[in-house]
Amino acid sequence: MADNGAPAAGKLWGGRFTGGLDPIMTQYNESIYFDRAFYSQDIRGSIAYARANQKNKILTEHEFAEIERGLKLVLKEWQDGKFIIQPGVDEDIHTANERRLGEIIGKEIAGKLHTGRSRNDQVATDMRLWLRDQLDQLEEYLVDFLKVISSRAEKEIEYVMPGYTHLQRAQPIRWSHWMLMYGSFFASDLQRLREVKKRVNQCPLGCGALAGNPFNIDRDAIAKELGFDGLIMNSMAGVADRDFVVETMQWGSMLMMHMSRWAEDLIIYSSGEFSFIKLADAYSTGSSLMPQKKNPDSLELLRGKSGRAFGHMAGLMMSIKGIPSTYNKDLQESVEPLLDHVKTVGDSLQIATGVLSTLAVESESMVKSLTPDMLATDLADYLVRKGVPFRETHHTSGQVVALAEKEKLPMDKLSFAQLQGVDKRFEKDVMGVFDYQKSVEMRSAKGGTSKSAVMEQIAAVKKALAGQ
């Protein structure tokens, strides 16, 4: 059989292999073109690991100093865009950095860097370090979004609009109350994110390939240098675990689910049939055929990308669910979806913040969409306050609705005599029920749509932002 290529010389794993890889297998196997995103984390982890090996006398002070010097030069090459990837040789970021280190300081010293370490614990460390930084950035984006929600809710608290169930007009609410429904969802997402960060920030470095480190390396010192909160205490778990990736995607999928619902409401509210809001030109596009169109593409993309985010999570869970312990190459499939997931969620939060910061509220259209039949429950509540059982008042109010439909009149245009014809317990003050501002102010219990209740909700969002 013809040789498919040169022996696996230069590979971190090449010692026992004499034959070359199929060129397609080389491309299929390598991850350098996406895991290079971890270049700085890989170098940070290598310096911390080398320092621990210097303390263990595996490296001399001179050897450690050279490794640290060389790795900082490699880091600068990446930062300056001057690092040259060698296709077919640099199969991943670890190989690339170590290969370049050897070129700078010599292979004899560079070859000692990996003592007692495996790419299994190395990649897990790189991913956790990278993800920790990314989750800090996502938290900032989410906090910014929640600040806009709470700020607009406070500023625009006077606006009253229809509230909906089943996409049917139900009861009057404040526009701020609608915003704070999603504020509540996103505040919960913020709390969940902070919990996820704690589990991401655990150190696997020093676990080796799976069985641990044979040189009694000080893992606590490594974790402290790298800013981890603690250690993964089982070496097999350290290299096998990708729960931190799955959990991040579960968190991101839930956030994007909320984002999708938020976007759907605004898409509806921006339509000509509603005209409750108007999107800024910066977050809209036109039609190639119909010049009058202004399409809410930003919101539609947010809605669409929620499916993409969920797909990342579901796909990775299917990749992981059947693999045996500990490290298996399947786990490489956790990297690309993680990179795209984090970018998708981060971009979406920034777009959502931009949309909400710049949209215009058409409060007059909101008021025009309010109709007296939405006060049917208020009419029932009126009789409740007269001592009538609610089940009875509900039926009575329904009769008033039916009468208004029969007479083709809005409920508030029925005469007092007509109302008394339905129920003699109606008194002349019943006409005061037909007041939308009064209706929203009556719902003053915690969580309601009165001004005081909405202000309490704003305060709750602000507490969540402060981590309380």
Residue 44 lies in a domain: yes
What's the whole-model pTM score? Answer: 0.91
- 125-155, pLDDT tens digit by residue? 999 999 999 999 999 999 999 999 999 999 9
Same domain, 245 and 102: no
- 331-385, pLDDT tens digit by residue? 999 999 999 999 999 999 999 999 999 999 999 999 999 999 999 999 999 999 9
Residue 277 lies in a domain: yes
CATH number at residue 159: 1.20.200.10
Instruction: Provide the domain limits for residue 390.
Output: 372-449
Same domain, 304 and 403: no
Same domain, 343 and 360: yes
**166 catalytic residue (yes or no):** yes
Residue 13, pLDDT score? 44
Whether residue 309 contacts residue 352, with contact meaning beta carbons closer than 8 Å, is answered with no
Structural domain ending residue among the three candidates 368, 393, 425: 368
Same domain, 148 and 290: yes
CATH number at residue 74: 1.10.275.10
Same domain, 130 and 59: no
Rounded Cα distance, 253 and 259, in Å: 10
Same domain, 355 and 214: yes
Residue 232 lies in a domain: yes
Structural domain ending residue among the three candidates 76, 110, 144: 110
Same domain, 299 and 417: no
Residue 11 lies in a domain: no
Catalytic residue among 46, 62, 150, 166: 166
Same domain, 324 and 245: yes
Same domain, 36 and 173: no
274: its two tokens:
């509603």
Residue 13 lies in a domain: no
CATH number at residue 394: 1.10.40.30
Q: How many domains in the chain? A: 3
Residue 456 lies in a domain: no
Same domain, 103 and 126: no
Structural domain ending residue among the three candidates 319, 353, 368: 368
Residue 291 lies in a domain: yes
Same domain, 295 and 329: yes
Residues of the chain predicted below pLDDT 70:
1-21, 286-289, 291-293
Catalytic residue among 287, 325, 415, 452: 287
Same domain, 352 and 399: no
Residue 299 lies in a domain: yes
Rounded Cα distance, 58 and 112, in Å: 8
Residue 30, pLDDT score? 84
**287 catalytic residue (yes or no):** yes
Residue 2, pLDDT score? 36
CB atoms within 10 A of CB 188: 14
